[in-house]
Structure 1
């Protein structure tokens, strides 16, 4: 009986050893297919990452240009306000000079009238 059990065990081991290379070859084929799929996924992820990086760089460049344009516009508006304020000061000074000249002329006329009446 023990010899029969041992013989069955040996036969079972031989059968397993005989089918083992086939199973290993099948597993290897599956692993190679899975590796190819993962490599494809990796390539797709790298391509998507490259596109995302390019999009991000383009967006950053656009934002930088818009910021530069906004700064230039702000600087131009500041210059216009400064120029308008300077022009207003010049106009105010001219108006004061004109008013002072008119007042001086009127004072001179009054002085002449007063002097002519006095003499």
Structure 2
């Protein structure tokens, strides 16, 4: 069953961001991970690259499909999760923990939803 973690903010494209951390940590929600199925490959932005809120910055490939990864904010990528690159299944196993994707030095935020708003929009529990 999909769930939403409180304390994070979410994009309508199903990315989460922890803006309390500096740099901010980004991943995909459990809703997205469940919909994707078994993740087999992730293409993440490069460290130092500029990402733009609402624009694609990578891809996530599963046994079902290939989905674009969207940045929830505009800023500079500070780090990528090499563990996810080596073991993409972490996105399914622990999307809010070990399955984070990249960190970003935030310049501006895109439109983000609270955990409550995201849960309501996707008809899932907190």
| TM-score, normalization by structure 1 | 0.12
- RCO comparison, higher one (Cα < 8 Å, 6+): 2
Greater C-alpha radius of gyration: 1
Which structure has the highest helix share of the two? 1
Which structure has the highest strand share of the two? 2
| TM-score, normalization by structure 2 | 0.12
